[in-house]
Amino acid sequence: MNQGQIGLRARVEQLASNPGHQVVTRALVVGVAAAVVVPVVLPLAKPFAKATIKAGVTLIEKTKMAVAETMEMVADIAAEARAEVQTAQAQAAPVGESAPSGDANQN
């Protein structure tokens, strides 16, 4: 299908008149309608988009805080468990074998 040098308006009229190109015609109409509607709708949608993004940011920050608090609690529990294990090991050691005094230079 050689179109040659045909103008846009003539091509649109050609597509509109050919019943085999209904899909193309519909796509063209949707494209033109979008070009007209988007500048009108976009300013109206901006507050909604902004509110949605703000809610997302707030949710992320609250999630970060909850995760940090949970990690802190887990770290505290782990430290308590380590202390209890060390205490139990110290109590289980025989009386003659106390924990090293830390003076590694004794001969």
Residue 45, classed as helix, strand or coil, is helix
> Are the CB atoms for 28 and 15 separated by under 8 Å?
yes
User: Three-class SS string for 56-98?
Assistant: HHHHHHHHHHHHHHHHHHHHHHHHHHHHHHHHHHHHHCCCCCC
Q: Which of 31, 33, 3, 4 is nearest to 18 (CA)?
A: 3
How confident is the prediction for the chain on average, in pLDDT? 82
Higher pLDDT, 10 or 84: 84
pLDDT digits (tens, 9 = 90+) for 49-76: 999 999 999 999 999 999 999 999 999 9
**Residue 74 Cα to chain centre, angstroms:** 25
Q: Which of 32, 36, 24, 27 is nearest to 14 (CA)?
A: 24
pLDDT band at 99, cuts 50/70/90? low
Residue 105, classed as helix, strand or coil, is coil
pTM of the model: 0.45
